[in-house]
Chains A and B, each alone.
Chain A
């Protein structure tokens, strides 16, 4: 359930250029980044980034240490251990005329995806879940023809108390 790669949570000051500094570091040091999602955090002036790093333990260690050296980075946490909450959101526009519409909506229902837009020839689905779930839906939808897709990249949060909430999450995301 933890997904491939290590998941880092990075808190950084919300300055112009701070994000560039982080991405420039990844490029310059040739770090292997699978996904990066950024937005506001609960703290004003602090952005929160979820980064998925491919590569072995020593590479991940370097990513963490190099991120720490950036002045605007406030905190870096590797949340991969302890069954973190990992989610991705996707909007998928799939080809579906009236003959296919039923099949596609059925699939969407099974995955807990919502239909958010509909036209004569397409349906647009919104799905949120673990990446493998999004991945499976995409695979199943591909036979209909995917016209357009956007994925948020992995966002992550460590559990507050790992023991108690694991079951809850499993139940919710099943």
Chain B
């Protein structure tokens, strides 16, 4: 076997001089390698078999067999978020391709560069309702940045390279390439592109005048705020954001996906805005006279009712996507720019300033995050604190969707860039466990912790199999309250405690872990929390900790959906 591999590697080298005729499948593999791909997640099946056949000739391409294609898409997404490089997932036609849909929609909503390669039935079979035929290009049109149905092997190479270019350029996003089975077998010439085509920004770059107009608004503001989002992380503009905030003295709010773009221990850091942001953040927004939004999109979970949001504030909005400027809020100055370059130019245009009094006022309204329960019970905050202590804050937290996601967003204290990864826009339960595989593959040196609820973890629990087979060193903390907690909370607040279908049982996770050849423990007492986390870190390979938390714990405060700061629910009923 080894000989065959070496020989084929040699052959490939020798042939480099002249354009080589390769099968479509090999063209895909070569193009992936050319794009720097080393990892991919996928699942074979009828229409993608020629690709898998060729894959074995390219040992530099590491393919991870997932247990469900949705997980492949999430893993590619996690890899991309953690590294900034394009994540790749592979599936067969029909059900394989449709199983990717939730993962692609997740990546699309959060601007994550993913390339999905799907098999399609052979060209003569297209449109004939062939076995496992689905029009996946049609299905994924609204949830991809772009997609392709490849009609011949000759165009396959250029299309794969174009897919990568589109996925990572401008505002990143997922791209799907659908390859009919006979195209995978067809021979064509493949020449790697001489140089990477630069991504052409379509919008005109902002002029000096734009930055000066923004700077004038900033210098005349008395109560300014920065709201920083995912764009800062995607752009890697950590230093630029910090320099801008320190230069102008403006306090920084980070959206859910902006978390870890600005150190939370920084004196200018205020926390998260919106539905489950702490009260002082939403009050500050209510009082602000200027908001500088950077790489964020004024999502409804941030703003609530737009008519009453930030009623006194003028908006300076910097985003790489021109369509975001003015989409949700009227903008005084729109700056279409990548956060890194845009923030550097804006800082240069701004006079140094400070807003100590404004900042002091806001901070005076800060309350310690929820009290730690006394006695033997423990709060989610204690679990998060134990993870942070035990990992010296070096961990990447991959969170699922629900109450635990909000607790993890609020209670951890993120200081390291890009250390918080979560499905924000789509809010995909079941995201965290498979996404963590990609995060771990991308950042093998960092501890990776999944924080999930007992509902979400069961949505893709089958991936423990992949984790076991691949030997991924991923630690999992389940915050288990026996409920679909966030939905239950809404039922408690808005539906008369009618807990319809939110009670959920769990398997014995330790036993389940054993069945997968992994280790796990249930943690029920405060005294065991820290020790359990330390134990998990001391074990090689994946560990699942099942933390029993209070059943009806809520996330406070809460601005009800479409609501306003005035309608914020700050305290449990008893304390109100």
Q: Which residues of A contact B (CB under 8 A)?
A: 16-17, 20-21, 24-25, 28, 58, 61-62, 65-66, 68-71
Contact = CB atoms under 8 A, between A and B. Distances in A.
Contacts of A25: 142
Contact of A24 (B142, B166, B322, B326): B142
A58 B323 contact: no
Contact of A68 (B137, B141, B323, B327): B323
Given A62-B323, A65-B322, A66-B323, A71 B142 contact: no
B149 A68 contact: no
Contacts of B138: 17, 20
A17 B137 contact: yes
Top 8 closest A-B pairs, CB basis? A65-B323, A71-B146, A28-B142, A65-B322, A66-B323, A24-B141, A68-B202, A69-B323
Contacts of B141: 17, 20-21, 24
B326 A61 contact: yes
A68 B166 CA distance: 14
Contacts of A68: 202-203, 322-323
21 contacts: A16-B149, A17-B137, A17-B138, A17-B141, A20-B141, A21-B141, A24-B142, A25-B142, A28-B142, A58-B326, A58-B330, A62-B327, A65-B322, A65-B325, A66-B323, A68-B203, A68-B322, A70-B146, A71-B145, A71-B146, A71-B166
B321 interface: yes
Contacts of A61: 326
A69 B137 contact: no
B327 A69 contact: no
Q: How large is the interface on B (under 10, 10 to 19, 20 to 34, 35 or more residues)?
A: 10 to 19
A21 B144 CA distance: 11
Contacts of B203: 68
Contacts of A69: 145, 321, 323
Nearest to B146: A71
B114 to A, nearest CB: 16
A69 B323 CA distance: 8
Given A17-B149, A68-B322, 14 more contacts: A17-B138, A20-B141, A24-B141, A25-B142, A28-B142, A58-B330, A62-B326, A65-B322, A68-B202, A69-B145, A69-B321, A69-B323, A70-B146, A71-B145
Nearest to A69: B323
- Among A24, A25, A28, A65, residue most surrounded by chain B Cβ atoms (within 10 Å): A65
Interface in B421-451: none
Contacts of B202: 68
Nearest to A27: B142
A62 B137 CA distance: 24
A65 B202 CA distance: 10
A62 B138 CA distance: 23
B379 to A, nearest CB: 41
A119 to B, nearest CB: 39
Nearest to B336: A65
A17 B141 CA distance: 9
A99 B556 CA distance: 80
Contacts of A17: 137-138, 141, 149
A23 to B, nearest CB: 10
A21 to B, nearest CB: 6
A58 B331 CA distance: 11
Contacts of A62: 323, 326-327
A143 B443 CA distance: 75
Nearest to B202: A68
Interface in B125-147: 137-138, 141-142, 145-146
A66 B203 CA distance: 12
A69 B145 CA distance: 8
Contacts of B145: 69, 71
Contacts of A70: 146
A70 B202 CA distance: 11
A68 B200 CA distance: 12
A89 to B, nearest CB: 31
Contacts of A58: 326, 330
- Among A16, A61, A69, residue most surrounded by chain B Cβ atoms (within 10 Å): A69
B136 to A, nearest CB: 12
A125 B421 CA distance: 64
Interface string B195-215: 000000011000000000000
A148 B322 CA distance: 44
A14 to B, nearest CB: 14
A17 B203 CA distance: 24
A71 B171 CA distance: 13
A25 B166 CA distance: 18
A65 B327 CA distance: 10
A71 B144 CA distance: 11
Contacts of A66: 323
B109 to A, nearest CB: 13
B15 to A, nearest CB: 32
B461 to A, nearest CB: 33
B215 to A, nearest CB: 24
Nearest to B170: A69
Interface in B298-330: 321-323, 325-327, 330
A69 B321 CA distance: 9
Contacts of B325: 65
A56 B203 CA distance: 22
Contacts of A21: 141
A154 to B, nearest CB: 24
A61 B145 CA distance: 20
Nearest to B141: A24
A17 B139 CA distance: 12
Contacts of B146: 70-71
Nearest to B175: A71
Nearest to B149: A17
A57 B406 CA distance: 37
A25 B143 CA distance: 11
